[in-house]
Amino acid sequence: MKKISFKFAISLLMTSLLVSCSDNTSTTLNNLDAQTASIQSAQTNKKREAKYNIKLKVKNRLEATDLISHGLDLSGSGNGGNFDAYATQKQIDYAKSKNINISNAKNAIATNAGLPTGYHTVSQVLDMVKGMATKNPSIASFIDIGDSWEKTTGKSPNNDIWALVLSGKNVNPKTKSTAVFISGMHSRELLPVEINLKLMDYLISNYGKDPQVTNYIDTREIVFIPIANIDGRIAVEKGESMWRKNRHIDSNYDGIDLNRNFDGHWNFEGVNPLTPELKDLQSQLSEKNSEIYSGPNAFSEPETQTLNNFFKDKNVTVMMDMHAYGNMLLYPPGYDTSAKSDPTTVKVAKYMAGKNGYKTGTSLEILYATCGTSKDWGFDKHKAISFTMEMGDDSDGFRPPFTKVEETWAKNKVGLTYLVSIADNPVQRVK
């Protein structure tokens, strides 16, 4: 930890030398678009406080964690202490009271924008994936693996969670290893769904042509979950551009952050000692209006239950959950300074970073503390090589122009394919 704090201090020093010292703290937010509340209530009859897209600058990781603990929804890599944030006026006032440097976002995200041109809708994504399976019946199947919250409640009868499963002729069902690629868990993060489509298409269309790809599919199982949070993604398409959680919305709840709802040190369970910093964060995880509300218990949500049940008896060796943004590759544990990361995972991260240039580390080391995420579950439950990848530059945000898809795929094609290549036996493959 000492080394990390030192590094962070150096990067802050560098940044403070480079960045001009203009005082933005007095910026008023009255001129920002505050349509959010009314638009959101149109779909859910839920009254919410208006939120604003802002940029802020923290002095260190603890300060970032404190803001998150006070409800600010931070995104981006935090390079030089700079984050994007989505926050209510009250939360902004809290940050100001802590002398945090705040400025308006240059490109405030429109709250009713639908999808940017080029991005595929849920129905287009599912049609494409289904099409891939239909055209390649000997190696691919398109499977309904479970239901979303809105399906379980009858509100949206078609909202199933779908998987594309690739596995070829030589896969022994008893000993097969499974590589998992998840996207769309946080509904506002658009790039990962497109990258997951690219990966599926690349592997399927090279089957029988590229001997290596053919061998991967013939000898292991590769499972893609293109849209893990279908209700949330549909809400984004209908106009709630900043929606992150699932749509478990009723008199008690206002959505649950699926990527805090996994049984992997959920709510810092088993973390000892719980520092004051983590205790504060724990109370925010239990705050129902929070963007990181982790639910009443681990796997309380049908979406996370679906993933847990589907993979329960599989030999999952690789778990990649694709998110946006910040060009980071995060591995477990995200919650504990004393626990060590799996050495094979660290080696894989280094290899991938050599290809995509992303920053690697645990979220605690390079971002802020996390728990109950898919990557924690991937490691805790399956002992898999388990990652959260944050795709896209800080300037990309959640909704980069569609041209970014090709660029991001070009950066990540080798690394993602590498994960497939080691999935049969990571420890042996990764020297």
Residues that bind Zn ion (CB under 5 A): 186, 189, 323
Nearer to Zn ion by C-beta: 95 or 389? 389
CB of 140 to Zn ion, least distance (A): 27
DSSP 3-state percent helix, strand, coil across the chain (nearest 5): 40, 15, 45
Q: Which is nearer to Zn ion, 120 or 186 (CB)?
A: 186
> Least distance to Zn ion from the beta carbon of 379, Å?
18
DSSP 303-340: HHHHHHHHHTTSEEEEEEEEE-SSSEEE-S-SS-SSSP
Residues in the chain, how many?
431
Helices (H) and strands (E) counted in the chain, each on its own, are 16, 12
Alpha-carbon distances of 402 from 232, 392, 408, rounded to whole Å = 20, 12, 10
147 or 257: CB nearest Zn ion: 257
**Residue closer to Zn ion, measured from CB, 167 or 229:** 229
Q: How far apart are CA 206 and CA 208, in angstroms?
A: 6
Q: Give the shortest CB-43-to-Zn ion separation in angstroms.
A: 21
Distance CA 82, CA 74 (A): 10
Amino acid sitting at position 125:
V
State which residue, 299 or 398, has the beta carbon closest to Zn ion: 398
Cβ contact 373:334 at 8 Å = yes
Span between the terminal Cα atoms of the chain, in Å: 26
Least gap, CB of 226 to Zn ion (angstroms): 15
Distance CA 342, CA 349 (A): 11
Find the shortest distance in angstroms from Cβ 388 to Zn ion: 7
Q: Which residue number, 75 or 91, has a Cβ lying nearer to Zn ion?
A: 75
The distance of closest approach from Cβ of residue 231 to Zn ion in the complex, given in angstroms and rounded to an integer, is 16
